Amino acid sequence: MSAITRDEVAHLARLSRLALTDDELDHYATQLDAIIEAVAKVSEVAAEDVPPSSHALPLTNVFRADEVRQSLTPEQALSGAPAVEDDRFQVPRILGEEA
């Protein structure tokens, strides 16, 4: 039995905001199935009582004083933008026609 179905891969692609073609979905479904089968080896490790580590070092939140500092100018911040209008990022519509 496969670890992941083609429909599940299509769902992952939607969640990942990747507009994949049917051929690509077939291809990735086969590859992801093999990869998931291999990485599932972690479930064989007996680790009920082991705490998880999200980081290598025991660091907690690091804060700085809440002071105004120099930051990028609008020109610098917008310098790589695909589209700009009136010193702002111009984006495609984000709401449906009805909204």
Q: In the bound complex, what is the minimum distance in angstroms from residue 60's beta carbon to other proteins?
A: 10
Distance of closest approach, residue 94 Cβ to other proteins, in angstroms: 5
The kind and range of the H/E element at 84 are strand 84-85
Phi/psi at 86 (5° precision): 50, 55
Cβ atoms of 83 and 89 within 8 Å: the answer is yes
Minimal distance, residue 44 CB to other proteins, in Å:
8
- Hey, what's the torsion of the CAs at 61, 64, 78, 97, to 10 degrees? 50
Q: Which residues bind other proteins (CB under 8 A)?
A: 4, 8-9, 12-20, 24, 28, 31-32, 34-36, 38-45, 47, 50-57, 59, 61-62, 64, 72, 76-77, 79-83, 89, 91-94, 96
